[in-house]
Amino acid sequence: MQGLGLAWLAGPAWATAPERSLRPIGRGDDLLKKTVPDLREIVSGAGLNGPSSVAVARVETGEMLENYAGSIGLPPASVAKALTAGYALDTLGGDYRFTTRLLTTTPPTESGAITGDLILAGGGDPTLDTDGLGRLAERLKAAGVTEVRGRLLVWGGALPRIVEIDSEQPDHVGYNPAISGLNLNYNRVHFEWRRAGSDYAVTMDGRSGKYRPEVAMARMVVVARSSPIYTYRDAGLRDDWTVAKSALGDGGARWLPVREPELYAGEVFQTLAGAYGIRLKAPERIETLPQEATEVAALDSAPLLEILEDMLLYSTNLTAEITGLTASAARGVAATDLAASAAAMNTWAQEALGLEKVALVDHSGLGDMSRISAQAMVTALIALRDRLPLRAILKDIPLVDDSRAAIPDSGVEIRAKTGTLNFVSGLAGYETLADGSELAFAIFSADLQRRAEIPMEARERPQGGRTWNGKAKRMQQALLRRWRVVFAEAREQAEVQE
């Protein structure tokens, strides 16, 4: 599958696809319609270096209304999460829940003592937070457990352990954490600093709504230097960080990625269990579950449909990757990395949605080697419209003018997924027009040469990135405004003539 993907990615149909603009045949001399810019005019006038791929079609009939270089494959960025949501819903169902369990190798005694080991076993829940572990510790206490004489073991083997989503990202960005079957706080640790005389006081904790337990498995050292701002070192069972003193100012905070998620969750749980009077040893990671282990407490996630709605709203990369990996595993795919799981999703998209060309390398869109065309994305959206409740969980996108001010009483409803990487921008979803008709659309733009030239230390906020992205978003809105007028009007006039 991957070999085929590389072959067509390199082919001329994707590299040099002709640009064309198909417009509806005008009926009458409608003044408003005449003032709407042409598709080619909007795209070419956006001032974006690099190609754009645009397509729009009627959901009801599947008719492709117009496209601009619609067959060119470009990185979808986080728009890929819309496909991942469809893949997960189609495979697992909207009622699916992830379960985090506490297991014991020996049953509690009458006095509540566990003489064997206690195991914190992850079920892949991407939304598990410190508050959730607090509820699990409370349930352990409610089960009558008063002490654990054996070890605290942590297991994340429900999913493969992957050290990071995309290796081309800076070490310190929180949206690129490790992946495991046991995850906590989106596998991010909270780093906070404040000036203390001529030095700084720093904390690393796993905070959530109710708790702020400090952790030792992630350590930060302030170093007198100007750059780099952050360095990371894998210290075996610990994440070792340094930060440049000159960058700290008077104080601040940020989330850093966790590379040892099982030990992170274990250490936080150790602290929370202690708050309920249950003393636990330091966590130890295991690769397989003991056959004799039995459940003593458990915590279920929210239903998958709710999790996916939050994923699409907040564009959480970890949630996308875990739901994609879980769906692939449910389909019998023994994926050991994201590319293998994404290949399984590509196959699903081809077979279930009728896509001819799709080559995603992950489930979140964080990797810029993924490719899909606007036409293929529109095909997928139309296929998913009635098959799954995707539209209902997409984000509401307001229609705005060139100054980014919302257009009052626009007469349209837009439900879509945005996607942003450095010099990559995408938007795809559904636009319901004033006449009640519904369009599926996809807009992808990328300046991959400019993106490739960004040095690693500047990839969090590269020079020119915000300006380029602003131009892409203005182009997207101009296209949505065009379609609001042109295609609602065309349908109304056709009905009158009939």
My answer on whether 346 and 369 are in the same domain is yes
C-alpha 208/C-alpha 222 separation (Å) is: 25
Number of domains in the chain: 3
pLDDT under 70: residue ranges of the chain: 1-33, 489-498
Predicted pLDDT of residue 32? 66
Could you tell me if 378 and 468 lie in one domain?
yes
CA distance 316 to 319: 6
Which CATH number does the domain housing residue 275 bear?
3.50.80.20
74: DSSP letter: E
Encode pLDDT of 135-152 as tens digits. 999 999 999 999 999 999
Q: Which residues contact 364 (CB under 8 A, 6 or more apart)?
A: 78, 80, 81, 84, 165, 317, 318, 320, 321
Looking at 300, 322, 352, which one is the last position of a domain? 300
Residue 372 and residue 419 in one domain: yes
Tokens 């510790």 — which residue?
Answer: 137
Let me know whether 127 and 207 are in one domain.
Answer: no
Q: Are residues 292 and 349 in the same domain?
A: no
Q: What local confidence, expressed as pLDDT, does residue 488 receive?
A: 83
| Residue 173 falls inside a structural domain | no
Q: What is the pLDDT of residue 34?
A: 72
Residue 439 belongs to domain with CATH number: 3.40.710.10
Do 433 and 471 fall into the same domain? yes
Structural domain contains residue 180:
no
Hey, what are 353's tokens?
Answer: 């949605």
Are residues 277 and 408 both part of a single domain? no
Identify the domain boundary among 300, 324, 351.
300
Q: Are residues 13 and 120 in the same domain?
A: no
Are residues 378 and 280 part of one domain?
Answer: no
Clarify whether residues 477 and 348 are in a common domain: yes
Instruction: Please give the model's pTM, rounded to 2 decimal places.
Output: 0.91
CA distance 106 to 247: 51
Instruction: State which residues form the domain around 479.
Output: 2-93+304-497
Contact call for residues 308 and 318 (beta carbons, < 8 A) = no
7 lies in the same domain as 119: no
Regarding whether 385 and 363 lie in a shared domain, the answer is yes
